[in-house]
Amino acid sequence: MRVGVLGTGMVGQTIGTKLVDLGHEVTMGSRTAGNEKAADWAAGAGEGAREGSFADAAAHGELVFNCTAGTASLDALRAAGEEELRGKVLVDVANPLDFSKGMPPTLSVVNDDSLGEQIQSEFPETRVVKALNTVNAAVMVNPVAGSSIFVCGEDAAAKEQVAGLLQDFGWRAEAIVDLGGIDAARATEMYLPLWLRLMGALGTPNFNIAIVR
Amino acid sequence: MRVGVLGTGMVGQTIGTKLVDLGHEVTMGSRTAGNEKAADWAAGAGEGAREGSFADAAAHGELVFNCTAGTASLDALRAAGEEELRGKVLVDVANPLDFSKGMPPTLSVVNDDSLGEQIQSEFPETRVVKALNTVNAAVMVNPVAGSSIFVCGEDAAAKEQVAGLLQDFGWRAEAIVDLGGIDAARATEMYLPLWLRLMGALGTPNFNIAIVR
């Protein structure tokens, strides 16, 4: 499959590399084609890895991952272009964490709205699935055994496709919890403050939560 | 021990009953002494169960549980009285869920503040420990095996005392995660939207999360 990965940070690189390893053709997008981090990644990630602008990556992908910083995601998606994203599944991995006022970060959108909803609202013909934003990049593609991962979105078929991809990443089908519509993005984004505190208490970002009954 | 339980709802009744069963002397407090729910509870909960006003319950308790609705907690604590709460450990179990705008509820304080912090700030000589607010009343006193429970607050000795009480409730010492100062109440309160979504997805409030590494 052709996949666009928007964002050149740890999350974009980790997901991009995993997708290449799984045999997908991946274009990593950044604000301007030729971005140094993206070029380094493309050179090292193996056959099937390319880089370009946000619009290049979105145009390339049958499916697109938003791995940009949450507070920059809407701008990045506007640069990618409504046309290039139309009808496609967009996996929104970002969290709207605002580090500008120091630590711990706050959420730039919260409570009665979320980044996932803002994206779906601004790109109504794109099928947004919020997923993977509750774990560290390393855990996204190397799941902690027995732990849970959440998906939400308006399009059932899109969620199924993403669930299939998550299983390719190593998540067991039983680990994947469908929380419903895209407004559930509020719930998974608002979990981030707890995730950050747990990272501090545990001394590692390599953990996850499991639902226990 | 003498314990005050502020609030006559499911949480107050469940915790009150558990404390009585453990041999403590419990006064359940409500806005006015003689509250019907509190009187029914006191009549049924066994020896050691009494009821009264918020101030009666706070005065009675060496340790006090805030089990009132989060949006009413500050008023309830003002009625209990700064004097009656001075120097005491206050276990804040409440969540500031605002149901007035329909479902799902939003948080009336969120992101850069929390109910736990507001209480600690308004009652600086009370030793506030946020705990148990991430699970249903039934789970508070009947822990899901292997799952995790969080405490936070400024006073280490108070957190230790609450951790001991949690163990009396059935939580294993390894299940209790100290998240740090009272500002971590933001994290556990902001988990509530995810908890509510999970309750919907699982079809039961009797679950919890486990930290997995």
Q: Identify the domain containing residue A184 by its residue range.
A: 2-202
| Residue B60 is assigned to a structural domain of this protein | yes
What torsion, rounded to 10 degrees, do the Cα atoms B201, B204, B206, B207 define?
-10
Within-domain flag for A208? no
Reading chain B (213 residues) residue by residue, the pLDDT tens digits are: 999 999 999 999 999 999 999 999 999 999 999 999 999 999 999 999 999 999 999 999 999 999 999 999 999 999 999 999 999 999 999 999 999 988 889 999 999 999 999 999 999 999 999 999 999 999 999 999 999 999 999 999 999 999 999 999 999 999 999 999 999 999 999 999 999 999 999 999 999 999 999
CB-based contacts of A61, cutoff 8 Å, min separation 6: A2, A3, A4, A5, A27, A88
Q: Domain of A36: which CATH number?
A: 3.40.50.720
Q: Name every chain B residue with its beta carbon within 8 A of the beta carbon of A208.
A: 211-212
Query: How many angstroms separate the CA atoms of B115 and B92, rounded?
Result: 9
* B32 belongs to a structural domain: yes
Structural domain count, chain B:
1
- Residues in chain B closer than 8 A to A101 (CB atoms): 112
d(CA B143, CA B165): 13
Is residue B52 a part of any domain in this protein?
yes
Question: Touching check for A199 and chain B: CB below 8 Å?
Answer: no
Write the pLDDT tens digit of every residue in A24-82.
999 999 999 999 999 999 999 999 999 999 999 999 999 999 999 999 999 999 999 99
**Nearest CA among B105, B117, B174, B114 for reference residue B143:** B174
Cβ neighbours of A110 in B, within 8 Å: 110-111, 190
Q: Is A110 part of a structural domain of the chain?
A: yes
Instruction: Report how many Cβ contacts below 8 Å link chain A to chain B.
Output: 101
Three-state secondary structure call for residue A18: helix
Compare all CA atoms of chain B with the CA of A146 and give the residue at the minimum distance: B212
A164-205 pLDDT, tens digit per residue, is 999 999 999 999 999 999 999 999 999 999 999 999 999 999
Residue B32, classed as helix, strand or coil, is: coil
Is A210 part of a structural domain of the chain? Answer: no
Comparing alpha-carbon positions, the chain B residue that sits nearest to A188 is: B194
Token pair 């390893």 in the structure block, residue:
A21
Q: Residue B172 domain-assigned?
A: yes
